[in-house]
Structure 1
Amino acid sequence: MDLKQIQEQCLVRIVDDDEAMRKSWNFLIEGEGWKTSCYAGAFRFLEEDDDSLPGCVILDVRMPNMSGIELQRIMGIQSNHLPIIFVSAHGDIDMAVQALKDGAFDFLPKPVSAERLLAAIEKACLISCELHESEQREKAARDNFNSLTQREKMVARKVALGLLNKQIADELDISEKTVQAHRGAVCRKLGVKSAVGVAAILRIIHEDAGDGEIAR
């Protein structure tokens, strides 16, 4: 994925109570081709931001009402996985270490160079894009799997184990012809052509195929 593709998909959030700093970063980041959204504080960010859009958060540490560190904790509780880049003039080593342990992508001291900030944004947004694409693949695979009937799901799990139609028919006490029909429906609904494809879908959605090893 090249930089242009990343920029097309991502939104860079700037959360800082200092209006001059927000405007400065916004001017810099937008000038490099990124889409941005600015928030004057943590509460405004929580109320207005759409976390379904990949990207990252440029976050100040010391803000009134709710600090950046407190916002990070709330994002964790909400399973908001946007990478956080802390930028602060008030951080110390212990604070930075703890923030990184808690999942922050980076912790940059003010004043931070434009090159270092932009490099951190690009890396964080690449990770966010990859995570977003993985989540979208999992959602699509789960939706397809959930479109199967209960019997088709049973057959799919057996197919994923690499069992032949006759073996599946014996285990489920149905005819081999019925297994063939279910197998065809499973592959069609999951958008795959083989047992390996069925197994791949079950791995994506972390679906237990039962005893034995899923076909690879």
Structure 2
Amino acid sequence: MTCKANELPLIRVVDDEEAVRDALVFLFSQEGWQTTAYPDATSFLKNDAPSAPGCLVLDVKMPGMSGLELQQELKRRGFTAPIIFLSGHGDIDMAVHTMHFGAFDFIPKPIKPERLVNAVSRAIEADHKNRFGLPPKEEIESRISQLTTRERQILKLSLSGLSNGEVGERLGLSEKTIENHKSSVFKRLSVSSIKRVHALFAKLGIEL
């Protein structure tokens, strides 16, 4: 099963402590993220949908298969989503070990919510870029929200197929002014042309 570029990210939490799982599910839901939690590695391996974009927040020490052992198993299976380790027993050697095998981050308990949210946000973006070569939909929508009213007007008219001259006539602006505004829009969206904007919006399912 393949995933789509506009599919919402899924945050997987694997931790044997129920209180920790509940707290993390609540924290991530407050950020608007889909979250699913598992009490152990076995239930995660049995029930997770590996094709779903997102990341894994994983406790290091658990009964049965440890987080470190799960990391190795996921590596063997070709699991590509970033892994953020949590540990109340962490030390420098353990952190280096997990990072050596591809962990995205290592965060000690007690967890600082702001640091974890930041790490998850970065992991989601990294996974999205790895899967699609595109920034997440939420990031593009955030960039669009930072456009001025005039820039949005020009972008919308340009996307409808109007030339710079035609957009200028509609808005009572010179063609050079339209070009300058569009250049600012392209820089904000990290694209080089209206054609690229069309392709980006189509892949992410964005409409102005």
Q: Which has the larger radius of gyration?
A: 1
Q: Deviations over 1:60-119 (max 9, x none)?
A: 001011000000000000010110000110111101001001000000000121110000
Q: Does 1:109 align with 2:108?
A: yes
Distance 2:101 2:21 in 1: 25
SS of aligned partner of 2:55: strand
Shift of 1:129: 0.9
Distance 1:76 1:134 in 2: 21
Distance 1:23 1:11 in 2: 16
| Aligned residue in 1 for 2:27 | 28
| Aligned residue in 2 for 1:40 | 39
Shift of 1:134: 4.4
SS of aligned partner of 1:82: coil
Distance 2:127 2:106 in 1: 17
Q: Give the conservation status (yes or no) of the 8 Å contact 1:57–1:85.
A: yes
| Aligned residue in 1 for 2:64 | 65
Distance 2:68 2:90 in 1: 10
Map 1:83-102; keep pairs closer than 5 Å.
83-102=82-101
Shift of 1:28: 0.8
SS of aligned partner of 1:25: helix
Distance 1:7 1:16 in 2: 28
Count of residues paired in the alignment: 130
SS of aligned partner of 2:127: helix
Q: Give the conservation status (yes or no) of the 8 Å contact 2:9–2:33.
A: yes
Q: Give the conservation status (yes or no) of the 8 Å contact 2:81–2:127.
A: yes
Map 1:1-216; keep pairs closer than 5 Å.
9-134=8-133
| Aligned residue in 2 for 1:181 | none
Query: How large is the Cα RMSD of the aligned pairs?
Result: 1.7
**Which structure 1 residue ranges, 5 or more long, are not aligned?**
1-5, 136-216
| Aligned residue in 1 for 2:176 | none
Relative to the length of structure 1, the TM-score reads 0.58
